[in-house]
């Protein structure tokens, strides 16, 4: 068994590695040889008036690869007046999220991994698959709304599947958008121009993507959307439903949670995922409610539908396509974690650990 840190994973995996691993895994899912248990959250009052404790977990397995993965995270969540989520564990600036990878051949624990780098690579690889199967082949201009870690992961992944020649970026914070433009322009060798308004970033772009932690809508004016565009999100709270309805093809990466089709729908509506919540009504009222209309994504075709039926993909350069990049989280973590484990074993990377603490002679 091995332990892989964020530094190990950054050394091992490229965006292209993750895109190809995820593509192969989605083909396995499309033929019924993989599964994903939706994310569930547990919310508990944490002793402060402006936040909550949240435990989140999700799982996935890929039969032909012989792997099962669980991802777990422990957060104190607070919300800013600007409508963003702030997370930490123990103290601001530190976080607790990790994965456990197991063999489905003999049940053995294979690896424990930090989830930070893998999370960004996974989400970006999913968005890149949306580009691969929906965006115009000649798409070259990216409009990026957001300038944080996820935006920094999305852009290299997009460059791995399309010939990107220009990027426009908007963030409400000047220092953030300027830093993003300078860093990503230098890393990718393409011009990245910062803007102080979202409209010019959206208009004239072939690919428009949101990478924010906002609890409020980011793109609301359908008049900004032009023929031939491909739109991608990072959260169901970023594009208005009026914009989504204007698109010719809307595809979800996969069903977000079992609550979307019944059973836990009320919990999902309030907290973003199927959730179990402890607390008095006034405490629970702190947790931002999620717009009900975004649940309509569950009626859209999934990425696996596009793999099984190519006729569901873009058929005209003028079509506007939308990729809802939120769902099947546990399954995607299984794919990228398995790839990281494979490369780590090939290259001798990681800290060797005994399986003794994970095995016992007492049956449950």
Q: Are residues 156 and 210 in the same domain?
A: yes
pLDDT tens-digit readout, 249-281: 999 998 754 433 333 333 444 455 678 899 999
In a domain, 51, yes or no: yes
pLDDT for 286 equals 86
Q: Are residues 133 and 114 in the same domain?
A: no
Q: Are residues 179 and 294 in the same domain?
A: yes
In a domain, 108, yes or no: yes
Residue 322 scores a pLDDT above 90: yes
In a domain, 273, yes or no: no
Is pTM beyond 0.75? Reply is: yes
Q: Are residues 160 and 293 in the same domain?
A: yes
Q: Are 240 and 258 in contact (CB under 8 A)?
A: no
pLDDT tens-digit readout, 179-220: 999 999 999 999 999 999 999 999 999 999 999 877 678 898
Residue 235 scores a pLDDT above 70: yes
- Per-residue pLDDT band at 287 (split at 50, 70, 90): confident
pLDDT for 261 equals 39
Range of the domain at 93: 2-118+330-358
3-state SS of the chain: helix, strand, coil percent to 5?
40, 25, 35
In a domain, 305, yes or no: yes
Domain count, the chain: 2
Q: Are residues 140 and 232 in the same domain?
A: yes
Q: What percent of the chain has pLDDT over 70?
A: 92
Average pLDDT of the chain?
Answer: 91
pLDDT for 262 equals 35
- Closest residue by Cα to residue 333 from 96, 37, 5: 37
Please tell me the distance from the alpha carbon of residue 139 to that of residue 132, in angstroms, as a whole number.
11
- H helices within the chain, ranges in order? 6-12, 15-30, 116-134, 149-161, 174-188, 199-202, 241-246, 265-271, 281-284, 303-308, 329-347
pLDDT tens-digit readout, 34-47: 999 888 899 999 99
Residue that has been written with the tokens 């800290």 in this structure: 351
What is the domain-level CATH number for residue 41? 3.30.1780.10
The two tokens of residue 185 are 């322009």
């Amino acid at each position: 068994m091995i332990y892989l840190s964020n530094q190990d994973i950054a050394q091992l995996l490229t965006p292209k590695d993750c895109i190809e691993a995820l593509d192969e895994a989605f083909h396995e899912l499309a033929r019924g040889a993989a599964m994903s248990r939706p994310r569930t959250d547990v919310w508990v009052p944490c002793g402060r008036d402006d936040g909550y404790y949240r435990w989140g977990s999700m799982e996935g397995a890929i039969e032909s690869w012989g792997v099962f993965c669980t991802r777990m995270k422990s957060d104190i969540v607070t919300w800013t007046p600007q409508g963003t989520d702030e997370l930490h564990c123990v103290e601001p600036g530190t976080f607790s999220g990790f994965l456990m990878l197991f063999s489905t051949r003999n049940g053995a624990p294979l690896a424990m991994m930090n989830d930070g780098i893998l999370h960004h690579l996974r989400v970006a690889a999913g968005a890149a698959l949306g580009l691969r199967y929906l965006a115009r082949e000649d798409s070259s201009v990216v409009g990026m709304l957001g300038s944080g870690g996820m935006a920094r992961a999305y852009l290299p992944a997009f460059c791995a599947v399309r010939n990107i020649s220009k990027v426009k970026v908007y963030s409400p914070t000047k220092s953030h958008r300027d830093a993003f433009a300078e860093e990503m322009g230098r890393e990718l060798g393409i011009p990245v121009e910062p803007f102080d308004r979202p409209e010019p970033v959206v208009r004239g772009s072939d690919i428009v993507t949101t990478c924010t932690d906002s609890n409020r809508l980011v793109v609301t004016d359908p008049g900004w959307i032009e023929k031939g565009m491909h739109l991608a999100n990072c959260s169901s709270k970023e594009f208005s439903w009026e914009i989504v309805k204007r698109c010719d093809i809307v595809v979800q990466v996969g069903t977000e949670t079992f609550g979307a089709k019944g059973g836990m729908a009320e919990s999902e509506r309030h907290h973003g995922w199927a959730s179990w919540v402890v607390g008095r009504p006034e405490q629970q009222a702190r947790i931002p409610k999620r717009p009900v209309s975004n649940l309509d994504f569950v009626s859209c075709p999934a990425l696996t539908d596009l793999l099984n039926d190519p006729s569901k993909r873009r058929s005209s350069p003028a079509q506007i396509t939308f990729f809802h990049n939120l769902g099947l989280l546990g399954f995607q973590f299984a794919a990228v974690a398995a790839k990281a484990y494979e490369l780590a074993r090939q290259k001798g990377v990681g800290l060797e650990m005994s399986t003794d603490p994970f095995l016992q002679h007492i049956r449950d």
